[in-house]
Amino acid sequence: MGNDARERIIEACERVIARGGLRGFRMSDVAREAGVSIGLLSYHFGDRDGLLQAALDHVNESAARRAAAGAGGAATAGAGALPEGDASSAEDRLAALLCSEFGDEPQVRAGSTAWNELRAAAVFDEERAAAVARSTSDWQRAVRRLLAEAAPRTDPDEAALILTSLVEGLSGRWLTGQLTAEEAQRAVRAALRPLIAAGAPPVAETGSAASAAADPVPPATGPGRG
């Protein structure tokens, strides 16, 4: 099965979950939504759990692609992957990655709804909890990498936990109509700014101050120094 067909099936899975949740979720509904046979789903994804894990991973991958496009970079493969760049653009890439979780496009909403539904179901299902934990860890590592680049004096593990938890909380409010996508994105940027400012490297000395530091004045020899 080509990548296009795989993408179509996983997106169909997200839409089915977004419409009806997990309680009535059936592989046959996904096959019908994607326009493929149930046998093809079973062959390539195994069972229901394999398809749901693929849907979780796809949410991360889709967010990374949207973020890469939003930050002006080329999309890259792999969960949570973003193009490498210099430190000056790391903050923009981090903001793009976090804000890409919100949007008015139907598939963005479907993916977010599926993620939240799977995360809620994980409270009562150990196997589902392990799958959600793996995908969350991938996402958090991507955020951590960009934080280490953009704010090297900030604890990247702690900051990544704070930011990803914030996005998950905002996502629930967005999906229930308490926030617009734009309001959620503004809240993310407002939380990100002080973290970046606190962890940014010191500003290099310039001009006469830098010159004085490089060529210190000799000690005085007059009274008080003799």
What digits encode the pLDDT tens for the residues 175-193? Answer: 999 999 999 999 999 999 9
- Cβ-proximal residues to 41 (8 Å cutoff; 6+ apart), any chain: 9, 27, 30, 31, 34, 51
What digits encode the pLDDT tens for the residues 89-139? Answer: 889 999 999 999 999 999 899 999 999 999 999 999 998 899 999 999 999
Q: H/E element holding 199?
A: helix 181-199
Q: For residue 211, is pLDDT > 50? A: no
Evaluate whether residue 91 is within a structural domain.
yes
DSSP E strands in the chain: the ranges are none
Entry field: residues in the chain: 226
Evaluate whether residue 61 is within a structural domain.
yes
Evaluate whether residue 162 is within a structural domain.
yes
Split into its structural domains, the chain has a count of 1
pLDDT of residue 71: 58
Evaluate whether residue 27 is within a structural domain.
no
Evaluate whether residue 214 is within a structural domain.
no
Question: What does the pLDDT average to over 159-182?
Answer: 97
**Is residue 213 very low, low, confident or very high in pLDDT (cuts 50, 70, 90)?**
very low
> Residue 100: which domain range?
49-199
Evaluate whether residue 142 is within a structural domain.
yes
Evaluate whether residue 153 is within a structural domain.
yes
Evaluate whether residue 68 is within a structural domain.
yes
Average pLDDT value over all residues in the chain: 83
Q: What is the CATH number of the domain that holds 124?
A: 1.10.357.10
pLDDT of residue 60: 85
